[in-house]
Amino acid sequence: MSYEKNQEPSSLEANAYSYDQPTAGSRQSGESYDSSYSDGYEKEGSAFSRFIDSFKPLDLEDDGIDTSNMTAMEKSIIASARHPLARRLKSRHLQMIAIGGSIGTGLFIGSGYSLNNGGPGGLLIGYLLVGYAMLCVIYGLGELSVQFPVSGSFNAYFTRFVDSSWGFTLGLLYACSWLVSFPSELIACSMTIQYWNTSVNPAVWVAVFYVVIVSINFFGVKGYGEAEFVLSMIKVLAVIGFLIVGVCIICGVGTGGYIGGRYWHDPGAFNHGFKGVCSVFIGAAFSFGGIELVALAAAETRNPRKSLPRATKQVFWRVTIFYILTAIIIGFLVPFDDERLLDGSTSEDITASPFVIAIQNGGINVLPHIMNAVILVAVISVGNSSVYGCSRTLASLAVQGLIPSIFGYIDRAGRPMVAIMFTNLIGLLGFLVASENQDTVFTWFFSICSLSSFFTWIAICFTHLRWRWALAAQGRSLDEVAFISPLGKFGSYSGILILSLIVVGEIWVSIWPIGYPADVVQFWENCLSLPLLIAMIIAHKTYHRTWNHLMVKLEDIDLDTGRRDIDVEVLKQEIADEKELFKQKPIYYKVYRFFC
């Protein structure tokens, strides 16, 4: 499906163009359809009637697209491009989602468990490796999302650029990871509250925060965006404040006197050697999880060509400041043999947070309460993101025909309402907080998606490479690519290598846990997602009888459907003009734009 200036587009390309073509009165090419499909119901009637009408199914007019002669793959591509999610996220929403969207219990509490396993050196190495891999992932994903801001983002790309079995399996595992995270975060909320009040049944607090999170998501993507903007701002300011306070405590402010590098010498920089470093990776994955949400929101962004590149580049600062610097400060402030860190294995006990332990050791009495409030905000934020991430992924899978179509139901406000309600239903598992067996239940739930984050990230890097290979195979160049990954193909290659080695290390540590002989139960708890991934791919390909081709041919990959920039030649000229203008800027501006 190569593109030439005077060549007639294929039927699929023509359909893509007819769908994306701006109508009279629409904005410029990068912002066509900004008003979204979902605004029509707001024009008349009382506020109550508009609210009720918003839940009705979206009435799409016939777009004149004939799908009778299309393959299943072509129908999937068209469907994900046409999916009418509301485009209401602004640049400021994406900025804060990118900077602080997934900062939660993984960083505030789980980092303590990682510190206990690997020591300060192991914690730093683990965060550095996973952090670099995340930059590779998000840069490659950003390049794809700016070019194709379609429903489901990377999940749709798996189907489009690799194979439908990849899209089905990895999309379902990704949705499951958010699905399990929602009730878990509700339990974490109730445990965090108990830092102040232990007299109230924790199930009461689960009910309170369940209502809060569900209500936010009933306001659609705009409600999610506004909530994340505020919550992420609080988290970002809290982490920056902790870093400043942490430096002061290290230098001698507080009751502990000058600390310096004391804990790097006694008890030491590493715990449990290389195996301890490998054990940090799973905690790091938990901390970095959700970093890809900024790309998942691409289809609901007003102008992805302008806002997504900047949001993508913000991830560099998020990785550097909020993970790497935090790991360094924590390593200086808390010895890895502190017994309070051992409680961090539950990722719910606030007293196990190295942030709180560091402040308590410094003799600052008020800040632990403030830190606890920040952790509560972070947990609510991740719970909110869990509903958003799961519902959008399920809706994308449905519109691609990979799961029952009912999950693709979109109401007039642009909300995937059935997917949201299903996610909310599973969230009721949070009431297991009243059960004595909650730890066992959630351990096996999480085992289903234990390594799925790594598989998703590896697949994103591979999909980015497939996109680049397809461009070359069809005689097209990067001149038409609106945003180019600063790390290019090298980033995706190195990302795949590092993440694959991390998975091997995790399997090793799971089979032979630290301080214990080989343990089959421990392996299944940590690595159940690996055989599940293989089984799901085999089952899907067998059911649909697609063993005759393992991947979509590079020459057959559709490189046009879903783009909001219609005319490729006009886009090339715009990009060339922008590059020429950029060359004339001073060096400090170029450095700033590289990172921001």
Residue range 140-151: average pLDDT? 82
Q: Report pLDDT for 539.
A: 92
Q: Report pLDDT for 3.
A: 39
Under a CB-based contact definition with an 8 Å cutoff, are residues 356 and 376 in contact?
Answer: no
Residue 57 predicted with pLDDT over 90: no
Residue range 338-342: average pLDDT? 77
Nearest to 327 by CA among 126, 161, 49, 568: 126
Q: Report pLDDT for 207.
A: 92
Cα gap 447→524, rounded to integer Å: 7
Under a CB-based contact definition with an 8 Å cutoff, are residues 115 and 341 in contact?
Answer: yes
Three-state SS string over 177-217 comes to HHHHHHHHHHHHHHHHHCCCCCCCCHHHHHHHHHHHHHHHH
Q: Report pLDDT for 354.
A: 86
232: tokens are: 């992420």
Percent of the chain with pLDDT over 90: 12
Residue 184 predicted with pLDDT over 70: yes
Show the domain range for 321.
74-565
> Which residues are 156's β-sheet partners?
none
Residue 62 in domain: no
Q: Report pLDDT for 79.
A: 54
Residue 583 in domain: no
Distance of CA 387 to the CA centre of its chain: 12
Query: Over the stretch 284-299, which tens digit does the pLDDT of each residue have?
Result: 877 787 777 777 665 5
Q: Could you tell me which residue, 174 or 52, shows the higher pLDDT?
A: 174
The CA-based dihedral angle spanning residues 269, 275, 277, 282, taken in that order and rounded to the nearest 10 degrees: -140
276 in helix, strand or coil?
Answer: helix
Residue 49 in domain: no
Domain count, the chain: 1
Nearest to 370 by CA among 184, 571, 235: 235
Residue range 304-311: average pLDDT? 73
Q: Which residue has the tokens 């590289």?
A: 594
Q: Report pLDDT for 497.
A: 95
Q: Which segment of 1-15, 83-97, 99-113, 131-145 scores lowest on mean pLDDT?
A: 1-15
What DSSP designation does 54 have?
A: T
Residue 584 in domain: no
Cα gap 428→213, rounded to integer Å: 12
> Which residues are 301's β-sheet partners?
89
Q: pLDDT-based confidence at 458, cuts 50/70/90?
A: very high
Residue range 485-511: average pLDDT? 91
Residue 178 in domain: yes
Q: Report pLDDT for 195.
A: 75
Q: Report pLDDT for 339.
A: 82
Residue range 248-256: average pLDDT? 82
Cα gap 109→352, rounded to integer Å: 6
Rank 65-74, 251-260, 582-591 by mean pLDDT and report only the highest: 251-260
361: tokens are: 């050791």
Residue range 259-264: average pLDDT? 88
Residue 244 predicted with pLDDT over 70: yes
**Which residues lie below 8 Å from residue 208, measured CB to CB, with a gap of 6+?**
none
Residue 61 in domain: no
> What is this structure's pTM?
0.81
Residue range 470-496: average pLDDT? 89
Q: pLDDT-based confidence at 16, cuts 50/70/90?
A: very low
Residue 172 predicted with pLDDT over 80: yes
Cα gap 390→418, rounded to integer Å: 11
Please say whether the dihedral angle defined by the alpha carbons of residues 393, 399, 400 and 404, taken in this order, is positive or negative: positive
Q: Report pLDDT for 491.
A: 92
Nearest to 246 by CA among 397, 357, 161, 142: 357
Q: Report pLDDT for 32.
A: 39
134: tokens are: 């995340």
**Which residues lie below 8 Å from residue 63, measured CB to CB, with a gap of 6+?**
18, 19, 82
Residue 574 in domain: no
Q: pLDDT-based confidence at 102, cuts 50/70/90?
A: low
E strand or H helix at 82:
helix 72-82
Residue 468 predicted with pLDDT over 90: yes
Residue 111 predicted with pLDDT over 90: no
Residue range 348-365: average pLDDT? 76
Q: Which residue has the tokens 């900024």?
A: 294
Q: Where residue 286 sits, what CATH number does that domain have? A: 1.20.1740.10
Q: Report pLDDT for 258.
A: 84
Q: Report pLDDT for 405.
A: 83
Cα gap 493→125, rounded to integer Å: 20
353: tokens are: 């947070």
Residue 221 predicted with pLDDT over 80: no
Q: Report pLDDT for 13.
A: 41
Residue 252 predicted with pLDDT over 70: yes
Residue range 213-230: average pLDDT? 80
Distance of CA 423 to the CA centre of its chain: 17
Q: Report pLDDT for 232.
A: 82
HSE toward the beta carbon, residue 98, CA cutoff 13 A:
28
Q: pLDDT-based confidence at 37, cuts 50/70/90?
A: very low
Residue 494 in domain: yes
Average pLDDT, the chain: 77
Residue 208 predicted with pLDDT over 80: yes
Residue 464 neighbours by CB distance under 10 Å: 30
Q: pLDDT-based confidence at 15, cuts 50/70/90?
A: very low
Query: Over the stretch 528-552, which tens digit does the pLDDT of each residue have?
Result: 888 888 999 999 899 888 888 888 8
Residue 459 predicted with pLDDT over 90: yes
57 in helix, strand or coil?
Answer: strand
Nearest to 83 by CA among 425, 480, 405, 556: 405
Cis bond upstream, residue 304 (ω within 30): no
Q: pLDDT-based confidence at 520, cuts 50/70/90?
A: confident
407: tokens are: 């999950």
Under a CB-based contact definition with an 8 Å cutoff, are residues 330 and 243 in contact?
Answer: no
Residue range 191-205: average pLDDT? 81
